[in-house]
Structure 1
Amino acid sequence: MPLGTLDRTPPPFFRQGPSALTRLVFFASAAVFLMAADTRLGIGKPVRAVLAMALHPIEVALLAPVRGANNAGDYFGGIALAQQEAEAARAEARQQAARALPVEQLMQENAQLRSLLELRDRLALRSHAAEVLYEAPDPYSRKIVIDKGEQAGLLQGSPVIDARGVLGQVTRLYALTAEVTLLVDRDAAIPVLNRRTQQRNVAYGAPGSDGMELRFVAANADVHDGDELLTSGLDGVYPPGLPVARVVSLERRTQNDFARIGLQPMAMADGVRHVLVIDPIGTQLPPRPEAAASSASPAGGRANPRRPMPAPGGRP
């Protein structure tokens, strides 16, 4: 070694393995190979699974203080929220109690007035829960089939409703199933009552659409967009007060005596799974006087026998 120079090479005693550059190239190549193999072949998935299983207790131990702090915060926050909800519930209960007092008084007065006027009580509607099986495969009508029929006690003409309003009417009965004609069918009709004006009319199914219409309404009639139509209950089939449809279009023509009124049904068959079939209210009403008189007459006789006509110029 020349004088004045510094030898930077380690002595032969400390030389071990390949050089640093060789190790860098080797490990870089191995890392690239492992990444490519893991991406293509997924060889690192078992290794990661083993490592995750081995490190899971350590993760749980490290997360225990954080979870404890979160649980404590949730506990105290839940207590405060529960207290607020309890106070709100007590306030709402007080308000409902204040509203219930006059309602109870009005119900008592209503019962007294009904007994004074000898009015009958409201009918207790009999109903049957049913499930929609499928839509009838008839392109010219709108009907559905339900899983209850004559054996379940269903009657011909029974109204069918869902949570939103009147859906249709039972028009054909079988032993185990029934066919329901929807209100949007072109042959369907239902008596309705305008909630706002208390005017009565009849709503029909609109042909070629999923809506309904009011027919034979004067052009100057008091009908506005958004008016809600309810069942009137005058047909002896539908109970009064059930939602039927809403006015969505109104066209008044000066050259025509009638207005063109389009309706949107409250209840639609699309997406309906469960329905309620109500017995017609006519089956729960007292018999008509004519029917009562005919039933009271003798079995073989006639209610009002007609006297024979006298012969001309002689005795009967």
Structure 2
Amino acid sequence: MKHRKYALLVSLLLVSLLLLSVRTPGGGGAWPGDLVGALLTPLQVTLAKIQRSALGVWSAYLDWKHVRSENQSLRAEVERLRIQALRVEDAHKENLRLRRLLALRDRLPLSTLAGEVIAKEWGGWVRSLTVNRGRGDRVARLSPVIVPEGLVGRVVEVRAQAAVVQLINDPSSAVAVMVQRTRTAGVAEGEPGGTVRLKFMARAGGGVQVGDLIVTSGLGGLFPKGLPVGRVTAVEDKGSALFHFALLAPVADFARVEEVLLLTGPTGADLFPHFSPGPET
């Protein structure tokens, strides 16, 4: 069907050109010439209009193809620039993260080892991280793991070139902590669902309230003293006459952690002065 239309169009153009080229005989008033002219002129005019219309359609089609090609090129260029902008933004964010991490490393009065997160275990929430440091880097089991905001967790498995980090929201995690404001001691334990609950915080001595910053107490020797752990979001007494119970929001956003510091050296110092008072906003 399409080929027939093209053939008809070409035929009309050829006929129009043929008719337009017909010359009526000169010589004043010969009636055969006048008759031919009278018959052909309307047809010539019509065919000339068809010819101009066809040429206009063809020209418009060529223009449309050109514009379409330009649009495709522009869209490709916009997409290329968008991807380039995202890469620049990612590089900028990574640079900021690394600068903060290295600045913290330089401030801390103990030896550390920087590591990159290479895997995350999800179970509705992030349960553990795997970092690219292992036995070859002399990583020890139970080494605390931190970010510039504070505590992330501790190493629970050391492999040849990697280490698995248990996060503080894991149900098998327990961290000796205290309220920075009142120095009231307690325990931060992970619970199913990825939450962290404060337990066994004595009511005496000022207790705990919403907004309090919780830091490691250093008791038990697993974690240095003064590592920020999280902020209290709700107090749940549960009818206990002796202890406070509360919910805690960790200072570290585990889903977004990409680089960490592993603490590889001992220290008896309070590390809190080397951290910001809370998570970055």
Please give the range of the TM-score, normalised by the shorter of the 2 chains. Answer: 0.5 to 0.7
Query: Which residue of structure 1 lines up, in the alignment, with residue 199 of structure 2?
Result: 215
Match of 2:60 among 35, 45, 50: 35
The separation in 2 between residues aligned to 1:197 and 1:46, in whole angstroms, is: 70
The separation in 2 between residues aligned to 1:127 and 1:250, in whole angstroms, is: 35
Displacement, 1:130?
A: 1.0
Displacement, 1:143?
A: 2.1
The separation in 2 between residues aligned to 1:146 and 1:123, in whole angstroms, is: 21
What is the identity, as a one-letter code, of the residue corresponding to 1:35? Answer: A
The separation in 1 between residues aligned to 2:249 and 2:170, in whole angstroms, is: 13
Query: Which residue of structure 2 lines up, in the alignment, with residue 190 of structure 1?
Result: 175
Query: Which residue of structure 1 lines up, in the alignment, with residue 157 of structure 2?
Result: 172
Displacement, 1:160?
A: 0.3
TM-score of the superposed pair, with normalisation by structure 1 = 0.51
Displacement, 1:123?
A: 8.0
The separation in 1 between residues aligned to 2:188 and 2:144, in whole angstroms, is: 15
The separation in 2 between residues aligned to 1:158 and 1:46, in whole angstroms, is: 60
1:154 and 2:139 aligned: yes
The separation in 1 between residues aligned to 2:186 and 2:156, in whole angstroms, is: 22
Query: Which residue of structure 1 lines up, in the alignment, with residue 219 of structure 2?
Result: 234
Task: Count residues with an aligned counterpart.
Answer: 194
Contact map agreement 1:191 1:202 (CA 8 A) in 2: yes
The separation in 1 between residues aligned to 2:246 and 2:69, in whole angstroms, is: 72
Query: For 1:152-199, what per-residue CA distance to the aligned partner results, in whole angstroms no more than 9, with x for missing partners?
Result: 121221110112211000122223221211100111111222122222
Q: 1:219 to 1:242 in 2, by over 3 A?
A: closer
Identity %: 29
The separation in 2 between residues aligned to 1:194 and 1:202, in whole angstroms, is: 10
Contact map agreement 2:125 2:193 (CA 8 A) in 1: no
Contact map agreement 2:114 2:260 (CA 8 A) in 1: yes
Pairs within 5 Å for 1:195-274: 195-205=180-190, 207-218=191-202, 222-253=207-238, 255-257=239-241, 258-274=243-259
What secondary structure is seen at the aligned counterpart in 2 of 1:261?
Answer: strand
Displacement, 1:24?
A: 5.8
Contact map agreement 1:131 1:273 (CA 8 A) in 2: yes
The separation in 2 between residues aligned to 1:176 and 1:260, in whole angstroms, is: 40
Contact map agreement 1:132 1:273 (CA 8 A) in 2: yes
Query: For 1:72-99, what per-residue CA distance to the aligned partner results, in whole angstroms no more than 9, with x for missing partners?
Result: xxxxxxxxxxxxxxxxxxxxxxxxxxxx
Contact map agreement 1:219 1:256 (CA 8 A) in 2: no
Q: 1:219 to 1:124 in 2, by over 3 A?
A: closer
What secondary structure is seen at the aligned counterpart in 2 of 1:217?
Answer: strand
Q: 1:46 to 1:215 in 2, by over 3 A?
A: closer
The separation in 1 between residues aligned to 2:44 and 2:164, in whole angstroms, is: 89
What is the identity, as a one-letter code, of the residue corresponding to 1:194? Answer: V
The separation in 1 between residues aligned to 2:125 and 2:176, in whole angstroms, is: 23
Query: Which residue of structure 2 lines up, in the alignment, with residue 143 of structure 1?
Result: 128
Contact map agreement 2:187 2:201 (CA 8 A) in 1: no
Query: For 1:259-302, what per-residue CA distance to the aligned partner results, in whole angstroms no more than 9, with x for missing partners?
Result: 431101111321222111002526x79xxxxxxxxxxxxxxxxx
The separation in 2 between residues aligned to 1:134 and 1:178, in whole angstroms, is: 10
Q: 1:33 to 1:208 in 2, by over 3 A?
A: same
Q: 1:136 to 1:276 in 2, by over 3 A?
A: same
Q: Which runs of 5+ in 1 are unaligned?
A: 1-11, 49-121, 286-316
Q: 1:24 to 1:163 in 2, by over 3 A?
A: farther
Displacement, 1:47?
A: 11
Query: For 1:35-73, what per-residue CA distance to the aligned partner results, in whole angstroms no more than 9, with x for missing partners?
Result: 24554xx2x46998xxxxxxxxxxxxxxxxxxxxxxxxx
TM-score of the superposed pair, with normalisation by structure 2 = 0.57
What is the identity, as a one-letter code, of the residue corresponding to 1:134? Answer: A
Contact map agreement 2:115 2:261 (CA 8 A) in 1: yes
What is the identity, as a one-letter code, of the residue corresponding to 2:57? Answer: V
Q: 1:281 to 1:197 in 2, by over 3 A?
A: same
Question: Which protein has greater RCO, CA pairs closer than 8 Å, 6+ apart?
Answer: 2
Q: Which runs of 5+ in 2 are unaligned?
A: 1-25, 27-40, 71-106, 270-281
What secondary structure is seen at the aligned counterpart in 2 of 1:35?
Answer: helix
* Root mean square deviation of aligned Cα: 3.8
